[in-house]
Structures are given as C-alpha cells and as structure tokens.
Chain A
Amino acid sequence: MSSGDSSDDYGVRLLNPDGSACEHVDFLALLGVEGLKGCYGAMLRARHLDEAATALQRQGELVLWIPLRGQEAAQIGSVRAASPADFIFPSYREHAVAWDRGLPAVEVLRLLRGITHGGWDPAAHNLANYALVLASQTLHAVGYALGLQLDAQLGPRLDAQAGVPGGQEPAAVLVYLGDGAMSQGDANEAFVWAASFNAPVVFFCQNNQWAISTPAARQSRVPLAARAAGFGFPGVRVDGNDVVAVHSVTSSALARARVGEGPTLIEAYTYRMGPHTTSDDPTRYQPAGEVDHWRALDPIDRVERALAPVCDAAWFGEQRAEAEAAAARLRTETLALPDPPPDAFFDEVLVTETEEARAQRASFREYRESFQV
C-alpha cells in the first residue's frame, strides 16, 4: 500500500480481518451477538442498495451517484452509536447512515436524480440534508451543538415558561466529513469553535485514503486524528473497516459529548473501494494492488467470518435475500419517482406564502403556459 500517512497503523481494532476478536477484548460483550448481526444486515443492505444505485446511474436514471463501497462499517458502526435524540450532519456519501437512520432508501436518490434540491425533512430523523459544499456541514454541526448547549442551560426555564414538560434527553451532534474536507478552512474553523465552547460534537472523519485523486498522505504529515491535539480535544484513529471498533469508539465519544466533556475527532481509517463518484475513473490514479490490499480487509467479510460460528447458512441466505429485495425495491421506486411540478420551489421556500410570492407564482405559471401553442 502506498497511500496513507502510516500504512500499518489502522488504529483501534477489536475485530481482526480474519473475523477473530483481538485477544484482549471480548467484542461480543460490547455490541452483543444480536448487535453484530444487526450491523451485518445493515452493511449488506447498504452494499446492495449502493450497487443498485450505481447501476441506475449507468443506465441514465441518476445524474450522479456517490458510491460508499468499502465504507459500510465506518458508517453503520458510527450511526448505530447515535441515539435518536442525537442530531446527525452527513456529508454526501453517508447513504448507509441515512438509510440506517430510517430514511427510505429512495429519498437519498431523489437528490441525485436531480428532482429535489434537498431531499428530506431534517427533523424527521434528526438527520440534516447532504452538504455538497465540502466541510460546510462541520460549521452547521458546531452551531447546532452550541444550540444544544443553550437548550440544556435555558431549556428548563423556557419549558416552564411555555408550560411544557421539560427533562429532555441529553443529546450530542455527530458530523461526518472526509479526509479531503479535513484540509478545508471550514473544518478547521469548526474545530476551533467546538474547542472554544466545548461543544457537544463528534467529528467523524472517514479517511478513505483518497480526496478524489489526492492521496491522504499528501494532505497530512501526521495521522489526521493527531490534528485534534492541536485544537485541544481528543483524536482517535479507529479501524474504519471494523464495525465493532467503530461502534465502540463512537459510542464513547458521543457519551463524552452528552455529559459536557466536549468534542472528539474520530478518524475512521478505511478505503473507498470504488470511484469518488460515477464521474470518476480511479484506475487513473490508484496504484496497482491497492484495491486488492483493501479487499482483503473488506468490512462485511470480516463480520461474516466472525458470525460464521454462531449463524448458519440459512441465516446468511436470508440476509442476502433481504438485501437483494431492498435493492430491487429501490430500483422500482426510483423509476416511479415523479418529476416535481415546475413551480414546486414556491412550496418549499416559504412556510407561509406572501402576497409577492403569490404574484410571482402566478406570473411564472402564465409564462409557462405561454409555451403552449
């Protein structure tokens, strides 16, 4: 392997690539067999949905797709560490996060089919819309985390004034970014701001080794996790292809955040086993053999090996069938998505339509109708 700042340091690891537990940890005690089985099903489903979406793009049904192949453990392990009250800010590759959070699979594809500017109601699953502007979501996340702090301080008083029952569950913010976004000004401002106010935020950086075609090693002379020390909060590298380790590390970081111990940077050391997007050709820049190296570290195979002693072939078959069915459903639902009416944006900007907006809508309709002969 020729990329990455230190090739043999995969960070915290609880499950070895061969599926065995690291000797000093009883991994099943941390997540439980049922928890691990759940992760397996979710990762498998994410991979099948991702493949279906890639095929849809190649068939002209999506403008673009952003494959997540290889990053299933980083996404499922981390999102499963978040509570329903935690608020999640994804970047743009976090499909497994969105799907596991309960968002219907097809909702993510609407954006990439070009029929919506956003996609979903962020409040429905405490999941913000995708941020296509690199690292912008880190600032949104820190802002939201500061809001949570204010809520915690002022909440009881406001609740009393409003006459509603208080005692909300403590929550934190989980924000996703990539190794490329770590070089953005926004990300670094977010780190400074989070540290200054001890904000309840976990920065979850999926280091997939490639910022499009720029290797992570060129972007950082130190492991990305080590940068956190400079901002004054803990940074941890975790084996991003080890769902157990990711879940464990993220759980503990979110727990710290919820009790007021401040931000954490997690670097999930993983690999993008495909193109940056469907418009990219990674064979032009990835060194030969790199993909093979990481294929041997596949996050799903690893869990399959770990579960082999406790699950039979029928169970694995069921999981595959469910994942395939979800992919087939996604395909059917995507092809059935209606195009939005041309004036849909009048419905999506203002909660209450103003007189001016009403006039603009009428004028726009008239203009549209003037195309009819």
Chain B
Amino acid sequence: MYDQFHLPDLGEGLAEAEIVHWLVRPGQTVELNQPLVEVETAKAAVEIPSPFEGMVHALHCAEGDLVPVGSALLTVATAEAPAPAGTGAGADDAPPAPVVGHAPVEPAGGEPPRRRPRRPLHQPPAAAAAPGTAADQLLPRPVATASAALSALAPLVRAQPAPALSTAPAANGSAAPARARALATPPVRKLARDLGVDLAAVRPTGPAGTIARADVTAAARLGAPESRPDAGEAPPQRAGDGGAELSSARPGERIPVRGVARQMALAMERSAFTVPQATVHRTVDVTAMLALVARWRAENEAAARPGAAAAPRVTALAFIARAVVAALAAHPMANARWLTSADGSSEIEVFAAVNLGVAVAADRGLIVPIIPDAGSLSLPALAGALAELVAEARAGRTPPARMLGATITVSNVGVFGVDSAAGLVREGEAALVVLGAIRETPAVWEGQVQVRKVMTISVSFDHRILDGEAAARYLGEIAAVLADPPRLLLLG
C-alpha cells in the first residue's frame, strides 16, 4: 500500500513552502516522526516529520521548488504494501508517478535512484536548454551608441503600447450597461460553479430577484452561452471559478517564481497597486553632449601612459546620471518618499542625500544596486562608480547592502532599442528616470533640418509627492543640461 503525504499548511494560512533540503532518499526506510524534509515558509524554516513508517517510494518535488499547500511531497510504501511482484496489484495500489524515485519492482541494489537534473533557478526551461543565459538570449546587441558600455542596464518598465495595439475597451454606444451582481445564495453559487454556469447569464425566478437552484439547472441544460443577453462579450474565465476544470486545453508549463525574480515581481506589484503614478516624456537633442563625451574619451586615451592606472572613462550614461543627480538640488521633492503612519496620517520625507539606484539586468534577474551619496561625487568619480557597479552586478557580486536604500532610480531601456517607456516608480522613491535609445534623427537645428542625435527621457513620478508641473520642471532641468552640457556648471 502506498501512502502519499501532502504539504500541510504549516503556519495558519500559508499558501506555499519552498523545499530546502530532502533528508531522505527513495528506497530509504523511515520511521514515524523521522524528519523527512526541511521546508521554508514565509514564517519559518521547519523540518517535517514523517506521518508514516515504511520505505520512501518517491519524492514528488525537488529542492528549490516552491510548492503550494496540498501538493504531494512524497510517497511512502507502508508496512502493508503488497509483495513487489507486480502481479495482482489493484489500480488503487498503483504507485503515483514519481518525480524522483525508483520503481518498487526493482530488486534491491538495482538501478540507483535517479534525480531530475537541476535546472538553474529563475530560468525558464526553454532557455535552460540553450547555451548562454536567458538574459543573453533576450538582449539584442545594442547598436553602437555612447551608452553601449552599459548594455547590461535593463528596463524597470512596462513598454508603452503602440496606439494600434491598444486593448482598451471600445467606448461604442452599444456597450452593455453595467449589470448588478447576480443575487444567489452560496449553495446556488456553488451549484453554478460545479455546473459551469455563469450566474450573470441566468434569469432569476427566486424571491426578491434571486437565482434559484432550478434556474441554474435550467441554464445548464440550455447551455449558458446562448442565454447570455450580450453574446458579443466573451464569457468570463475567472481563476478558481471552474473555468480551468472545464477547459480541455492542455495546461501550459508553470514556471516557479523565486529569488530575485520574485522580489522584483512583488516590488512591482506593490508599486503598481499602492503608488498613484504618472509619467512625463521629453525628447532632447544630445548631439553636443555626445561630442563632448567623445572628445574627453579621445583626450583620455591620448593622455594615458603605459603602466599608469587609466582615469575612469566618462560615458554618456555617466554624464546623464550626473545631470539627473545634480538637477535634484533645485528639485528636492524628486528625491523623497511617501510615508503613511499606522494612524493613516501621511508625511513626505525629503532625503538628505542622493542614493542613485541603477537598474541592471543581471543573470539572476533585474536588480537595482545603488551608488551611495551620488550627489557628492564629481563626474569622473560618478563614472567610476557606475562602471564598478555594473561590473559587480554582471559578475553577481553586488553586496546585499548595495541593493537597498535607493532614493531615486535610473533605468536605461535604450540599450534594448526602446525609445521611451513609462516605468513603475519603486516603492519608497518619488521618481524613476527612464532613458530611451539615442538615435540619429532629422531634427530642426538652428532653423534647419539636420541629422541630429536625439533621445527621449521619461520621468515617472509618485503623484502624491510631485505633480505634473513639478515633474516636468525636473525633467526640463535634466533635458536642458543634456542639450547644453555647460549648463551642468549651473546646477548643484
């Protein structure tokens, strides 16, 4: 007989746990209450003791898996198991398919337990099979722009959809008026769910306009879609509403979300749903700035002596970062955060220093290491700090302390060929500066159309701290410096 053990809710309402370490192997004999596996929940890391005595038949999840409560953890062949002759075993006795395990019919000392090859964390299986990292696969090689040196910089954004692709519902006159939620008792709702009937499509005959049991069964016989008053609208498929069970489509692969990717997902979710935010964009002619940077580079190379340490190279991104930081002196509210107390009162904290967060696409996901007190750094020092930060992030050596405490963040999506993007402001910050690609574009220059190098800079902002005008002024200050680099002397 085979007993399967399912992950219990270990802490009053937990949904999932991560398999940290298996303490048993298939084929091993376990005693009652012998520790089986170490798991980590949102509350605690705990060892789960065995509820059965017997031989471990199979482990159903691998170390590192994030498994929902109720998932099968392992199967144990308990003492009453039939002789492993493989004959006459009823269907009920058939062992569940193992993820990690061995068949009970194997004689002792036969095939050793096989383990599923471990997949690197945070990587979808398709990418895992291909050489190189997922990030390598996804990143187009940037065009040779001045910011190519920082090609690892990644988006902290959702790209703006092109108008043609807009999925906003059409506001045509025939749209159905909003319907009130259908009235039905919980037992009737459950019946409807079991039968796959959409209550909104059922004609109520019960008291006070409620849907009766008979209404649901009648609708189920007729087929709910035909009875929908507004057949033009697709029937809703809500998670957990029975739609999934009814669907005959093969389920897609589910990819666990863990580690850096999970942190990013949660941070973005908080940003999207707790920070009222908006974005302003501005296109700026950076030809002069790029010429200046190129000149400095040439001079730097000419002055370099063999054996001497090279001075940090001032890149376009370093120059832009310096402008972003220096412009904060006149626009301190862009370097601030919104605080809400337990009693519901609110405050804005204006940071005393600028910790510049820089979004970087590292192999393990999007991270935002910081340059502490970036406001105190000269342009070369800032350039050096940026180069170091990117090298560290790419090598996966960013110390944890350097991942916290950003007061404003820069994200360079231009390396992906994106022109502009409305990013999500990170929780605890007032603004996110997104840099688009630098392109050669026909532009009006001193009254004539010329080919110029232009880019779009976007500032997403927490609308509780900054309004559109304040954000536009801050963005304007940055743009003015990039268009006319000597203006940097007027800042800070």
Inter-chain contact B185/A279, CB cutoff 8 Å? no
Give the chain B neighbours of A371 by CB distance below 8 A.
187, 190
- Of B12, B46, B190, B191, the residue contacting A64 (CB under 8 A) is B12
Given the known A-B contacts A58-B49, A370-B187, A370-B213, are A281 and B43 also in contact in the complex, defined by CB atoms under 8 Å? Answer: yes
Q: Which residues of A contact B32 (CB under 8 A)?
A: 331
CA distance A280 to B45 in the complex (A): 9
Closest A-chain residue to B194, C-beta based? A373
Q: A residues within 8 A CB of B49?
A: 55, 58-59
Q: If the complex has contacts A59-B49, A60-B9, are A280 and B44 also in contact, measured as CB distance less than 8 A?
A: yes
User: In the bound complex, do residue A275 and residue B47 qualify as a contact, i.e. CB atoms below 8 Å apart?
Assistant: no
A38-87 contacts to B (CB < 8 Å): 51-52, 55, 57-61, 63-64
A279–B9 CA distance with the chains assembled, in angstroms: 10
* Chain A CB within 8 A of B450 CB: no
**Which of A59, A60, A61, A281 is within 8 Å of B45, CB to CB?**
A281
Q: Of residues 284 to 301 in A, which have CB atoms within 8 Å of B's CB atoms? A: 284
For the complex, is B143 an interface residue (Cβ under 8 Å from A)? Answer: no
Q: How far is the CA of A55 from the CA of B191 in the complex (A)?
A: 38
Asked if B11 and A55 sit within 8 Å, CB to CB, the answer is no
A373→B11 CA distance, assembly (Å): 35
Q: What residues of chain B lie closer than 8 Å to A58, measured between beta carbons?
A: 8, 10, 46-49
Considering only CB atoms, which chain B residue lies closest to A370 in the complex?
Answer: B187
Bound-state Cα–Cα, A64 to B44, Å: 13
The complex places the Cα of A341 from the Cα of B12 at a distance, in Å, of 23
B6 close to A (CB within 8 Å): yes
Contacting A at CB under 8 A, from B1-22, are 5-12
Q: Is the interface of A mostly helix, strand, loop or mixed?
A: loop
Does B312 reach chain A (CB closer than 8 Å)?
A: no
**Per-residue CB proximity of B176-187 to A under 8 Å, as 1/0?**
000000000101
Does B48 lie within 8 Å of A59, measured CB to CB?
yes
Q: Are A373 and B8 in contact (CB under 8 A)?
A: no
CB contacts (< 8 Å) of A57 on chain B: these are: 10
Instruction: Tell me if B33 is interfacial: C-beta within 8 Å of chain A.
Output: yes
Does B485 touch A at the CB level, under 8 Å?
no
Inter-chain CA distance A371–B49, complex, in Å, is 37
| B51 touches A (CB below 8 Å) | yes
Report chain A residues within 8 Å CB of B7: 60
* Shortest Cβ distance from residue A48 to the other chain B in the assembled complex, whole angstroms: 11
Does A278 reach chain B (CB closer than 8 Å)?
yes
* Interface flag for A315 (CB, 8 Å): no
A59 to B187, Cβ gap below 8 A? no
Task: List 4 tightest A-B contacts by C-beta distance, closest first.
Answer: A60-B8, A281-B44, A279-B11, A59-B51
Q: Which chain A residues have a beta carbon within 8 Å of chain B's beta carbons?
A: 51-52, 55, 57-61, 63-64, 275, 278-281, 283-284, 331, 367, 370-371, 373
Known: A58-B8, A278-B11. 10 other contacts (CB 8 A): A55-B51, A58-B10, A59-B8, A60-B6, A61-B8, A63-B9, A279-B10, A279-B43, A283-B45, A367-B185
